[in-house]
Amino acid sequence: MSNTPRYNFTNFTKLIVALALLVGIVVVAAQDLAPNMSYAKLFAYIFIGLAALAVNLVGLSVIYLNIYQWVLRKGGTDTAWFWFNTEPKGLMALRESLRKD
């Protein structure tokens, strides 16, 4: 038995077509916003904008994941524990019963 994943060519084709249509919509909208700009400059601005968005998303993900790891290392029940002012119902009793055993 092989452990290689199977790729569906039809789904890949649909993805490529959808991406092409989205790029077309963005180009048409951008051309309406800046009618005197060349396509090369327009694509450059779109690419720079998407790259900046990707860098921001990756940076925020790294920051949040580090915060979540810190919360768990410091004994947090959940990574969102500081959003609520109390522990879940029954958790304190469960901890006490585990300490007695």
CA atoms within 13 A on the CB side of 91: 8
Residue 72 pLDDT > 70, yes or no? yes
Q: What is the pLDDT of residues 82-94, one digit of tens each?
A: 676 677 778 778 8
Q: What is the pLDDT of residues 13-48, one digit of tens each?
A: 999 999 999 988 988 888 888 888 888 888 888 889
Q: Which residues, at least 6 apart from 67, have a Cβ–Cβ distance to it below 8 Å?
A: 79
Q: Where are the domains of the chain?
A: 9-100
**Which has the higher per-residue pLDDT, 71 or 53?**
53
Take residue 36 and report the two structure tokens written for it: 């005197």
Q: Which residue has the tokens 């005197």?
A: 36
